[in-house]
Amino acid sequence: MRLLVVEDDKDLNRQIAEALTRAGYAVDRAFDGEEGWFLGDTEPYDAVVLDLGLPKKDGVAVLADWRRAGRAMPVLILTARDRWGEKVRGFDAGADDYVTKPFHMEEILARLRALMRRAAGHASSVFSCGPVTLDARAGRVAIDDNVVKLTSHEYRLLSYLMHHQGKVVSRAEIVEHLYDQDFDRDSNTIEVFVGRLRRKLGVDVIQTVRGLGYVLAPPAAKDDRPLASRSDPGA
Ligand code: CA
């Protein structure tokens, strides 16, 4: 999952970006409204943290322009504690949630997790597919109850697939949601990642859809009935 942080306070921007990176996300950063608007308009983010008081272009205007252009990613706005009118304008412009400054980083993380799982249509932050579970809160992956150790890229890949379970996800799409904009991207490496992830999981949940990409789905149920009772259309 890949996120954008738009905040002109350099220290705060760095603190948020570091916390999100530690939590397993790919993170892009912008420091004014124009740069932030451009990134959000051209890159496919899974969620955005948007400060409202920004140089060059106000946060509310940035958000309103994204929504007008059909950009539907979840947006969490940062507002000053005493500026309730700002919150109202933010929601009217298309914000999904807000946090008032000063805030605890844990609250930003929790609210972003909630926004992303809701955008994916999930009620809980624990995702599962067959015997595989991914706990987005703990950043933990397990098969049945055995914890599987993944690298941050493998975790990000599985997390993206879990958020889009049952849908075919192309290699290009995975590349865009796995790496930040400064990363040297190569869609050929995705096959390698998927191969490694499959081996670590050891269960058949990531299927290749030839020419299209991958789909995460529970392993096919084995047909345990005796041969004689199976219907055979050719008989
Ligand atoms: Ca600001």
Model confidence over 92-151: pLDDT tens digits? 999 999 999 999 999 999 999 999 999 988 888 899 999 999 999 999 999 998 999 999
The predicted model gives 46-55 an average pLDDT of 97
Among 75, 94, 120, the domain-final residue is: 120
Q: How far is the CA of 37 from the centre of ligand 1 (A)?
A: 15
Domain that holds residue 172: 126-216
Q: How far is the CA of 49 from the centre of ligand 1 (A)?
A: 12
Instruction: Determine, yes or no, domain membership for 227.
Output: no
Q: Are residues 156 and 103 in the same domain?
A: no
Q: Are residues 148 and 116 in the same domain?
A: no
Q: Is the pLDDT of residue 229 over 80?
A: no
Q: How far is the CA of 181 from the centre of ligand 1 (A)?
A: 23
Instruction: Determine, yes or no, domain membership for 225.
Output: no
Query: Beta 47-51 vs 75-80: how paired, if at all?
Result: parallel
Residue 187: per-residue pLDDT? 73
Q: Are residues 114 and 135 in the same domain?
A: no
- List CB-based neighbours of ion ligand 1 within 5 Å: 8, 51, 53
- What pLDDT, in 10s, does the model give residues 2-50? 999 999 999 999 999 999 999 999 999 999 999 999 999 999 999 999 9
Distances (CA, A) of 27 to 36, 65, 171, 225: 13, 22, 19, 49
What is the number of other CB atoms lying within 10 angstroms of the CB of residue 45? 23
Q: How far is the CA of 56 from the centre of ligand 1 (A)?
A: 11
* C-alpha to C-alpha distance for 113 and 180, rounded to whole angstroms: 18
Q: Are residues 80 and 182 in the same domain?
A: no
